Structure 1
Amino acid sequence: MDWVRGEKLGNGSFGMVNIAIPRSRNCQIPPVMAVKSCGVSLSDSLMNEKLILDELKDCPEIIRCFGENFTDENGEKLYNILLEYASGGALADKVKNCPDNGLPESEVRRYTKALLKGLNYIHKFGYVHCDIKLQNILLGPNGGVKIADFGLAKRAEREKVGDFGCELRGTPLYMSPEMATRNEQGPPADIWALGCVVAEMVGGASPWRCSGVADLLMRIGVRGEVPEVPENLSSKGKDFLGKCFANDPSKRWTAEMLLNHPFVDDQDFDDTVTLKERHDEDNASTSPRCPFDFPDWTITSLPSPEYSSESGSWFCKEVILMTGSMSTPPVERLQGLASNHQPHWLSSDEWLSVR
C-alpha cells in the first residue's frame, strides 16, 4: 500500500504515530488512517500487535489493521502498521468531559455490551488483552466502540515468568487479585478490568481510593478488597459488577456469560449516537491535556500508546518493574513493587525525556 505520512499524532518509547493518507483511493481502505511506526530493531512488539489484529480482523468492536510495510526515512529504516483512525477519541475523554460526573446508565450499558462482544471475541481466539481501560477504548465517528492497543496482549496459555522475577502487565488501577499476587493473567483478568471500566463510567472517576501503588496492590492482593461500586448504579448493575469482581477467577463470569446478564442483554449498540451524545462530543474541549490529567501508576512490560481526543494525539507512558521470586509470600512481594520515594512532580529532574 502506497501512503503519505501526515501530521504527527504523538510519540513514545515505542516509536511514533502519525496520520496516514493513501495515495490512491480504494473502497477497502479509508481515506484517513493512523500509522504506528518504530525502528526495525525495536519492532518485535509492533509486529506481534499486527499479527494479533490480523486474527481478530472480523470483529467490529476491535480496531482494524490495514497492513504493514517498511520505509526508509531520514536515514532510518522503519516498520509501520496502518490502523483504523478512531476519530471519536478515547472513551476516557468522554467520561472526563461528562458534566454529571459519570455517564448515564443507559449509555454505560450500551458501551458495556459492545465491550463484552469484543472481549468475547478476543478470548474465543485464545488471547488476553492485558490492558483493558478507558484510555484503550476508542470511539468511531458514529460512537461505535473500538478496543485498541494490543501491545501487551498475549496468548492465554502463555506460561508465567520464571522464579527469577515476575512481570506485571497492564495498569494497577485495573489489576486483578490473581495478577497482583500470583502473576496469573488469563481471560478472567480482562473481566476484572472490565468491571473497573464500568464502575468508572458510572462514577466518573476510578473506583479505587488509595494513597499510592503500594497501598493499592496490598488492598487488591492481600486484603482481598474489591473496587468501590457506585451508589447510583442500579441493582442490575451492582449484580453485574459482583460477577466481575469475584476474587476467585474461577468464579468470575466470562464475557459470554455476562452478555446474557440482565444489565446488558436488552441493550443494542448500533454504532449510532443520540443527539445529546453528539452535542457533548461537539462541545468537548480541544485544549491539550496537562500531564497530571493522565492516569498514574502504569506498570507495563511493553509500551502502551493511548489516544487523547482533546489533544488529538497519542501518548505512551511506560514503567517496568521486575522484582522478587514467585515463591516469595504475597505481602513481601507486593511491598517490593513499590518505592517509598515520593517524586517531586514540579522538578524536571523527576521526568524522563522520551524522543
Structure 2
Amino acid sequence: MDWVRGEKLGNGSFGTVNLARPRSRSSQIPPLMAVKSCGMSLSDSLMNEKLILDELKDCPEIIRCFGENFTDENGVKLYNVLLEYASGGALADKVKNSCDNRLPESEVRRYTKALLKGLNYIHMYGYVHCDIKLQNILLDPNGGVKIADFGLAKRVERKKEGNFGYELRGTPLYMSPEMATRNEQGPPADIWALGCVVAEMVGGASLWRSSGLAELLMRIGVRGEFPEVPGNLSSEGKDFLEKCFVNDPSKRWTADMLLNHPFVDDQDLVDTVTLKERCDEDNASTSPRCPFDFPDWTITSLPSPEYSPESGSWFHEEVNSTSGSMSILAAERLQGLVSDHRPHWSGSDDWLTVR
C-alpha cells in the first residue's frame, strides 16, 4: 500500500505514531489511518503486535490492522504498521478532561462492558494483553471502545517446571499480585488491570499515591494490598471490583463471568448477540490514535535489573533452576526488580521524528 506520513500523534518505548493517508482511494482502506513506526533494530515487538492484531481482526473492540511495510526516511530504515485511527483519542484524555477528572458511572459501565467484550475475545484466542490501562484504550468518533497497543501481548503459556525467569511486562500501577511475586501473567492479570481502569474512571485519581516502584511492588505483591475502591461507586460497582481484586488468580472472575455481573449486564448497550456472532460480522470501525503518553513507569522487560539506554528497556537474565528457586521470599524476589537508576523516558537516540 502506498501512503503518505502526516502529523505526529505521539511516541513511546516501541516507536512513533503518525497520521497516514493512502495515496489512492479504496473501499477496503479508510481515508485516514495511524501508522506506528520504529527502527529495524527495535522492530520485534511491533512485528509481534501486527501478527496478533491480524489474528484478532474480527473483534469490534480491538483496533484493526491494514498492513505493514518498510520505508527509508532520512537515512533510517523503518518498519511500519498501518492501523485504524481512533479520532476520539485515549480514554485517559477523556477522564483527564472530564469534570473533577472522573466519569459518570453510566459511562463507566458502558466502557467497562465494551472492554470486557474485547478482553473476552483476546483471552478466547489464547492471548494476554499484558498492558491494559487508560492510555491503551482508545475511542472512535461515536465513543466506541478500541483496545490498542499490543506491543507487550503474548500467548498464554504454561510455565515450564524449573524455569523461573523474570520478565516483568506492563505498567506497575496496574500490576497484579501474581505478576509482582511469581511472574505469572495470564488472563486473570488483565482482569486485575481492568479493575484498576474502572476504579480510575470513577475515582479520578491514581490508585497508588506516593509510592515509588519498590514500595509499590511490595504493597501489591507482599502486603497483599488492593487499589482503593472509590467511595462514590455504587454497591454493584464495588462488588464488581471485589471480583476483579482477588489475590488468588484462580478465584478471580473471568471476562466471560464479569459480562454477566449486574454492574454491566443491565446496560442497554449496542449488541445482544453472542461473542462469536459479533466477531463474524464485517466491522468497519475506526481506529487507534495511540498517543503513547506515559504518566507512569512502563516496564517493557525486567528479568536482573539492568537498564540499557540504547534500547530504552530494562533487562533481566532468565534464571533456570531445578531446586530451591521458588522458595525465595517474595520480598527478596521483588528487591531484584528495583534499581536506583531511572530511565530517561523523554528521549532516545533510536527514535526518529518525521515531519
TM-score, length-normalised on structure 1? 0.82
Does residue 33 (structure 1) correspond to residue 33 (structure 2)? The answer is: yes
Report what 2:223 is aligned to: 223
1:243-322 superposed matches below 5 A = 243-270=243-270, 294-301=294-301, 319-320=313-314, 322=316
Q: Which has the higher mean CA deviation after the structures are superposed, 189-198 or 151-160?
A: 151-160
Contact 1:160 1:184 in 2 (8 A): no
Identity %, equivalent residues: 82
Cα 1:61–1:166 change in 2 (3 A) is same
Contact 1:88 1:139 in 2 (8 A): yes
Cα 1:294–1:81 change in 2 (3 A) is closer
Q: Distance in 2 between matches of 1:322 and 1:81?
A: 28
Show CA shifts across 1:35-93 (max 9, x none). 11223343211111111000111111001101112223333332211000111111011
SS of the aligned residue for 2:314 comes to: coil
SS of the aligned residue for 2:265 comes to: coil
Report the count of equivalent residues: 316
Q: Which has the higher mean CA deviation after the structures are superposed, 10-19 or 43-52?
A: 10-19
TM superposition shift of 1:26: 1.2
Q: Distance in 1 between matches of 2:152 and 2:337?
A: 19
Equivalent AA in structure 1 for residue 156 of structure 2: A
Report what 1:168 is aligned to: 168
Report what 2:187 is aligned to: 187
Contact 1:298 1:319 in 2 (8 A): no
Report what 1:285 is aligned to: none
Does residue 106 (structure 1) correspond to residue 100 (structure 2)? The answer is: no
Show CA shifts across 1:117-151 (max 9, x none). 00000000000000000000001111110000000
TM superposition shift of 1:158: 5.6
SS of the aligned residue for 1:251 comes to: coil
Contact 2:63 2:83 in 1 (8 A): yes
Q: Distance in 1 between matches of 2:72 and 2:156?
A: 36
Does residue 10 (structure 1) correspond to residue 10 (structure 2)? The answer is: yes
Contact 2:19 2:32 in 1 (8 A): yes
Cα 1:222–1:323 change in 2 (3 A) is farther
Show CA shifts across 1:235-258 (max 9, x none). 100100000001000000000000
Higher RCO (C-alpha 8 Å, min separation 6)? 2
Contact 1:25 1:31 in 2 (8 A): yes
Contact 2:171 2:299 in 1 (8 A): yes
Cα 1:217–1:80 change in 2 (3 A) is same
1:19-98 superposed matches below 5 A = 19-98=19-98
Cα 1:24–1:129 change in 2 (3 A) is same
Cα 1:223–1:324 change in 2 (3 A) is farther
Structure 2 unmatched runs, 5+? 272-290, 303-310, 320-324
Q: Distance in 1 between matches of 2:105 and 2:139?
A: 18
TM superposition shift of 1:19: 1.1
Structure 1 unmatched runs, 5+? 272-288, 303-316, 344-348
Contact 2:14 2:151 in 1 (8 A): no
Contact 1:191 1:254 in 2 (8 A): yes
Equivalent AA in structure 1 for residue 200 of structure 2: E
The runs of at least 4 consecutive aligned structure 1 residues that moved more than 4 Å come to 160-165, 323-326, 349-352
Q: Distance in 1 between matches of 2:48 and 2:253?
A: 28
Equivalent AA in structure 2 for residue 235 of structure 1: S
Q: Distance in 1 between matches of 2:345 and 2:45?
A: 25
Cα 1:101–1:77 change in 2 (3 A) is closer
